[in-house]
Structure 1
Amino acid sequence: MKKLTIATRGSKLALWQSNHIKSLIETNFPEVSVELKIIITSGDKILDVPLAKIGGKGLFLKEIEESMLRGEAQMAVHSLKDVPTVMPEGLLLSAITTREDVRDAMLSEKYPDISSLPQGAVVGTSSLRRRMQLALQRPDLVIKDLRGNVDTRIRKLKEGEFDAIILAAAGINRLGLRDAVTYFYPIPLDEMLPAMGQGALGIETVNEPWVLEIARFLDDENSRIETSIERGFVDTLQGGCQVPIGVSARVGEDGKVVVRSTLGMPDASETMGDEIVVSRDQTDGVGEAMAKRLISQGAMELLQRAEAMANGAAQ
């Protein structure tokens, strides 16, 4: 029997995701046994500094990727929104799973949605993208940094540290935590665009034929189309989580793909965005083309100022 080792973070969400993929593999490849190898990453250790200040979400991958390159594991399961657009030499983004809910969600003990938050309410998020879009809707809100795993963030909400917190809806759904708070409000896409790849799992593997065969089974065509557009958009803008960028590509039942984007300053003092609709069979280069259109309108300069503002706020 072949043994496949999945390198994973030790958080509840990371373990849920890795066990979910483990179950799918063992069910469909009975000749393969799967074990998990838990790795503590730099991002798990540094909890008192905003991510934008210490190098972004790639910090959750570095040690996992090093373990794979040493031959200690053949696969890793990531939230795709945390995976940088450039992969290390020797490793491949071999599959993108069927997407869960792509939206962000507001969790609160007192308030059912963003519009019902009182003047000056304190909202927790570690994301510059969410910060910008919240500030655009509600400039009166006090937005404070929020780090830690999902349980920690919900505990801080329940202890009254925040009036509301913003998390990815997919993580809450996967962990079955919708009832852990009084109000769970999935934020419509016309109120808040998600991060690239949000709601999908990215399967990173070593470049070995038997591992790639397993990964191919996990790949979802619509998710691949959507997230390739989103990742192409962000890659062309050279943007990670150090700058506020939201992007959504959605494949519709009518065969059309709607692509929407937003970017700007963390305080929403300047923003820009775009929307295009293309057919499902004409999506090659769409994300890159949208990014170039915004670049011609000054997007790169705007993002440079956004990064400087984010770094200044994180001092």
Structure 2
Amino acid sequence: MSTSTRSGAPIRLGTRRSALARAQSGHVAAVLREAAGREVELVSIVSEGDTNRASLSEIGGRGVFATSLREAMLRGECDLLVHSLKDLPTARPDGLVIAAIPPRADARDVAVTRTGTALHALPPGATVGTGSPRRIAQTRIRSPHSRAVDIRGNVDSRLARVASGELDAVILAAAGLSRLDGDPLGDLRAESLGLAEWPTAPGQGALAVETREDAPDELRAALAVLDDLDTRIAVTAERAVLAGLDAGCQAPMAAHAVVEGDDLRIRAVVYAPGDGWRIGLDVTQTLGEGYIRQNGSGNDADAADGADPIFAARELGFSVARRLLERGAADLLPHDHPDDHD
């Protein structure tokens, strides 16, 4: 057992070096300190996504923000990781487990401009920065006369390109802005894009706290305190759609689910890359009266009992994916590396 996993020693939380990653990890660390009664220290790890400057549409399906961190944890350099769930491949690596999914923040995207002009009202030729094929496709529908510009970089650098006038707008995750310290927008203005017409990436707004399967019971118990069952149910369904479509994290698709009482509602859309065509479904399923909170599972284990809400959410997601494929979604999706999916 490494020194850090002994009772009383600091818990080492591996994180990317970006301001957003460290802010997200810092929020989890604060709650974990309280739950575990131990110090939590951040360990910076460089991921491929931080060093590879190629477009995310080219590299985003290979887990570029997760692989290096996971390898570091398996080498014993840290005890747990905090990921943005939307960047996490759907296949679970051997030896690792998502021990907690905290309550989800705002799952919406926002369009950030200098003047507060709505995305649909931008003038012809306006430039909208985003590296996401989904957001590019959605922008072409919402603002067909604008021009999408493929960009990379941290939140501050993207906002700076709007403030300087280089871009007219950028599309960002609302959750990322809310987790940064201070006021990252400054004088810029953000338009929230409603989930009904602008659904977002599977897992957007949620964090995944990952550790080793053989992590000490004390650590696993402390992490379980962070887990939010409604969020886990919803993102399980969303990620099952992605896995069922056999498409990477950067596929032009969206899936957003929400638990409403004992019902799980999921909206999923696959977009054509260029012409505004899309195939979508909106499905609601009852998970069973009382089961969601009485019998919910707070781990990654598959359940053989259909009454388990995690099992039911996963099956609903796979069912939605099959129906999308039957309607022709396969013709709109790029195929990614097979190791990235369930």
TM-score normalised to the size of structure 1?
0.91
Distance 1:185 1:21 in 2: 28
8 A contact 2:239–2:317 mirrored in 1: yes
Q: Aligned residue for 1:202? A: 208
Separation in 1 of the partners of 2:134 and 2:165?
A: 24
1:120 deviation in Å? Answer: 1.7
Q: Which residue of 1 aligns with 2:198?
A: 192
Say whether residues 1:270 and 2:277 are aligned partners.
yes
Query: Is the Cα contact below 8 Å between 1:196 and 1:231 reproduced in 2?
Result: yes
Count of residue pairs the alignment pairs up: 303
Gaps of 5+ in 1: 308-315
- Amino acid corresponding to residue 29 of structure 1 in structure 2: A
Is it true that 1:300 corresponds to 2:330 in the alignment? Answer: yes
| Structure 1 partner of 2:164 | 159
Q: Which residue of 2 aligns with 1:259?
A: 266
Q: Distance in 2 between matches of 1:195 and 1:232?
A: 12
Q: Secondary structure at the match of 1:2?
A: coil
Q: CA deviation at 1:269?
A: 4.2
Give distance in 2, aligned partners of 1:125 and 1:217.
35
What letter matches 1:138 in structure 2? S
The alpha carbon displacement at 1:163 in A equals: 0.4
1:263 aligned counterpart, secondary structure? strand
Q: Secondary structure at the match of 1:195?
A: coil
Residue of structure 1 equivalent to 2:63? 58
Amino acid at match of 1:86: A
Find 1:28's aligned residue among 29, 35, 55.
35
CA shift at 1:181, angstroms?
3.8
* Pairwise CA distance, 1:257: 2.4
| AA at the equivalent of 2:330 | M
* Alignment partners' CA distance in 2, 1:100 and 1:55: 22
- Cα-to-partner distance string for 1:284-311 (whole Å, 9 max, x where unaligned): 3111101011111222232148x8xxxx
Moved more, 6-15 or 181-190: 181-190
Q: 1:124 to 1:179 in 2, by over 3 A?
A: closer
1:289 partnered with 2:319:
yes
TM-score (norm 2): 0.84
The question of 1:42 aligning with 2:72 is answered no
In structure 1, C-alpha distance between the alignment counterparts of 2:141 and 2:56, rounded to whole Å: 22
Q: Which shows bigger deviation, 89-98 or 203-212?
A: 203-212
Q: Distance in 2 between matches of 1:21 and 1:121?
A: 38
Residue 183 of structure 1, aligned match among 189, 194, 199: 189
Deviations 1:186-235 (A, max 9, x none): 10112311100011111111111333212211110110010000011101
- Tell me the percent identity: 36
Match of 1:245 in 2: 253
Q: Structure 1 residues 110, 165: closer, same or farther in 2, change over 3 A?
A: same
What code does the residue aligned with 2:147 have? V
Q: Which amino acid aligns with 2:138?
A: Q
Q: Runs of 4+ in structure 1 displaced over 4 angstroms?
A: none
State the partner residue of 1:311: none
- For residue 231 of structure 2, what is the aligned residue in structure 1? 223
Give the Å deviation of 1:178: 5.8
What is the one-letter code of the residue matched to 1:45? T
Distance 1:61 1:180 in 2: 30
Q: Report 1:86-101 matches (<5 A).
A: 86-101=91-106
Measure how far apart 1:57 and its partner are. Answer: 6.2
Instruction: Provide the C-alpha distance between the structure 1 equivalents of 2:276 and 2:118, rounded to a whole number of angstroms.
Output: 23
How far is the alpha carbon of 1:179 from its aligned partner? 4.1
Distance 2:242 2:280 in 1: 13
Q: Are 2:126 and 1:121 aligned?
A: yes
Q: Separation in 2 of the partners of 1:242 and 1:26?
A: 34
Give how far 1:240 is off: 1.5
The RMSD of aligned alpha carbons is: 1.7
Q: Which residue in 1 is equivalent to 2:19?
A: 12
Change (3 A) 1:138 1:57: farther
How many Å apart are 1:138 and its aligned residue? 2.2
| Corresponding residue for residue 296 of structure 2 | none
1:83 to 67, 76, 88: 88
Q: Give the distance between the partners of 2:183 and 2:268, measured in 1 at CA.
A: 29
Contact preservation (8 Å) 2:86, 2:202 = yes
- In the alignment, which of 168, 177, 195 is matched to residue 172 of structure 1? 177
Q: Residue 180 of structure 1: CA displacement?
A: 1.9
Distance 1:182 1:3 in 2: 40
Contact 1:8 1:18 in 2 (8 A): yes
Q: Is the 8 A contact 2:122 2:143 kept in 1?
A: no
Q: 2:116–2:191: 8 Å Cα contact kept in structure 1?
A: no
Unaligned runs of 5+ in 2: 1-7, 289-308, 337-342
